[in-house]
Amino acid sequence: MQRYRNIVASFSRHGFGFIVKELGLHELLSLPKHLLAEDDQDLYMKPMAERIRMFLEEMGPTFVKMGQFASTRPDLFPANLIFELEKLQNQVPPFSSDIVKSIIEQELGDTIDNLFAEFREVPLAAASIGQVHYAVLHTGEQVAIKVQRPNIRKIIKTDLEILQDLAMLVEQRSKSAAKYQLRDMVDEFSKSLRAELDYSVEARNGEKIGKQFSNDSKIHVPKIYWDYSTQKVLTMEYVEGIKINKKETLIQQGYNCKVLAERVAQAILHQIFIEGFFHGDPHPGNILVLPGETIVLMDFGMVGRLTSEMKLHFASLLIALNRQDTDKLVKEIISIGIMPDEINMQQLRADVELLKEKYYDTPFSEVNLGEAMNDLFSVAFQHRIKIPSDLTLLGKAILTVEGIVEDLDPELSIIKVAEPFGHKLVKNRYNPKRIARNLMKELAEYGEMLSTLPKHMHEMASVIKKGKLHMEITIPELGMTIKKLERISNRLSFSIVLLSFSIITTGLIIGSALTRQSTLLWNVPAIEIGFGIATLMFLWLIYSIFKSGRF
């Protein structure tokens, strides 16, 4: 509850107290008024996106990671907020070397001296979840050891529970916020962050990407030392190179920047189109350069996965963008996303046409692929088409790599490098061998289904014989149809009763007049009493129909 109060109070201090009050959190958490005060006018006058970024940084690791995760979703958030979220700093003060040694010894089951020939207490880098130390194994191999911060799991677990509560509350209280699918996004983020807390997952990701380039000597992925790794400690090969964004240093040392740009682009596109498993965070800090223009890829806490269908749809999207084919673009957006119950196809097509005008008369080689993808995903979001998170992560990764490539070689177009991959993927779809292989697979599935068909038919016949077959038929707008039928039947009943009442009463009155006899039957005024009873029944029927609201 104290953490809850701190989060809500900080949110209010950064100029969002009106949201706290609208959600009723100040009453729910019994927050004193001074915690909700917005006295810092200088802070309050800053742009909203900047205040959100400052709030996330103040709240620590979970919120910083959440902001970084949100920065990969341009389909959900505006460009100015994405720009601020990309500034989030992951640098935090290091924790003591004594704690580091204690964690390593506890996790690896031995003393530091027995484990390493050399261990440097001053960290190479410190981040929100862990920090990295240099060491040397007794075999002479240089390694980098990533050690997780103490109690970080407990802190993140608490914060994630609070975020899930807040997302649910916001969606319940605000219909406009529900369209952002906050709960789904928090669940997705929670899953990603929990995986990042397990260093063995990152190690497996690194090994998998390393195997992708096992035959390419110009792409290097640091080796994992499994005997010195656990969920909280990750030991990998130490690599000392130049960061890919240090262009002046690279030029001074004689590196060919055009070759580097080509290799970085080829590496990420190979992962996307061929492997379907790619580095989700290829920022300059995670890419180094070694002699011979060798590219080093590091830090695989965030990765993306693409199915064969997703790869194919992405390739088709690329080709449709090249040809500026609106119908094909609309078809691919629908194919890759999850459609809402209702969608205005005419408006979707008009929005894609409008977006196409942005790239009209622009040479395909000059189109920014990452930006174009994000534009298409934004159109999808406007129509409540849910795009898989791996595809939005793909857009973000391509945008990041495009920035690196453009800095190294402004003449190189990543979209031109990507085009052959896309054509190859689409061409491979119609490869006779692939078609035959898929056909054989489908025939095997059909054969299995047919072999079990008699058994299933026998089971169904038994159920029918026992009279236990239940059928459920759902007809759209059935409730509305039933209500209309009820109204028609009520009006018909009303008309019949009214007509019957009129005929009987008229007949009795005419009969009495013609015979000139009294309307007394056995000394009882029949017409008068009958008229009274019929009137009461008539009034009761009318009241019932009007009360039901279905007249």
**pLDDT tens string 311-323:** 888 878 777 777 7
pLDDT score, position 118:
95
Whether 281 sits among the annotated catalytic residues: the reply is yes
Best mean pLDDT range from 86-100, 248-262, 459-473: 248-262
Give the CA distances from residue 31 to residues 194, 356, 398, in Å, rounded to whole numbers and listed in that order.
Answer: 31, 50, 44
Q: Answer whether 145's CB lies under 8 Å from 234's CB.
A: yes
Rounded CA separation 540/535 (Å): 9
Q: At 200, which amino acid appears?
A: S
Phi-psi region of 40 (alpha: psi -120 to 50; beta: other; left: phi over 0): beta
Contacts of 19 by beta carbon, 8 Å cutoff, 6+ apart: 11
Strands 303-305 and 277-279: antiparallel
Mean pLDDT of the region 341-361: 78
The one-character DSSP state at 286 is G
- Given a cut of 80, is residue 363 above it in pLDDT? no
Q: What average pLDDT does the chain have?
A: 79
- Given a cut of 90, is residue 213 above it in pLDDT? yes
pLDDT score, position 318:
76
| pLDDT more than 90, % of the chain | 26
Q: What is the DSSP string of 505-538?
A: HHHHHHHHHHHT--SEETTEEHHHHHHHHHHHHH
Mean pLDDT of the region 364-391: 78
Rounded CA separation 193/159 (Å): 11
Q: How confident is the model at residue 477 (pLDDT cuts 50, 70, 90)?
A: very low
- Given a cut of 90, is residue 293 above it in pLDDT? yes
Nearest to 375 by CA among 349, 354, 389: 354
Q: Beta-carbon neighbour count of residue 254 at 10 Å?
A: 7
Q: Answer whether 541's CB lies under 8 Å from 497's CB.
A: yes
Q: Answer whether 401's CB lies under 8 Å from 282's CB.
A: yes
Give the CA distances from residue 475 to residues 339, 484, 486, in Å, rounded to whole numbers and listed in that order.
Answer: 20, 15, 17
pLDDT score, position 116:
96
Which is more confidently placed, 448 or 131? 131
- Given a cut of 80, is residue 431 above it in pLDDT? no
Catalytic residue among 75, 159, 281, 299: 281
Rounded CA separation 336/317 (Å): 10
Which is more confidently placed, 454 or 307? 307
- Given a cut of 90, is residue 392 above it in pLDDT? no
pLDDT score, position 476:
46
Which is more confidently placed, 290 or 547? 290
- Given a cut of 60, is residue 463 above it in pLDDT? yes
pLDDT score, position 295:
95
CA atoms in the 13 A half-sphere facing the CB of 479: 0
pLDDT score, position 467:
67
Q: How confident is the model at residue 471 (pLDDT cuts 50, 70, 90)?
A: low
Q: What residues does each domain of the chain span? A: 91-240, 243-430, 478-548
Mean pLDDT of the region 188-206: 89
pTM of the model as a whole = 0.70
Q: Answer whether 133's CB lies under 8 Å from 123's CB.
A: yes
In this structure, the dihedral spanned by the alpha carbons of residues 535, 540, 542 and 545, taken in order and rounded to 10 degrees, is -160
Q: Answer whether 297's CB lies under 8 Å from 264's CB.
A: no
- Range with the lowest mean pLDDT among 76-80, 188-192, 488-492, 547-551? 547-551
Q: Is residue 293 within a helix (H) or strand (E), and if so which, with residue range?
A: none
Contacts of 349 by beta carbon, 8 Å cutoff, 6+ apart: 326, 327, 330
The structure tokens 């920014």 sit at: 368
Rounded CA separation 250/257 (Å): 8
Handedness of CA 256, 257, 260, 262 (dihedral sign): negative
Q: DSSP 3-state assignment of 340? A: coil
pLDDT score, position 451:
72
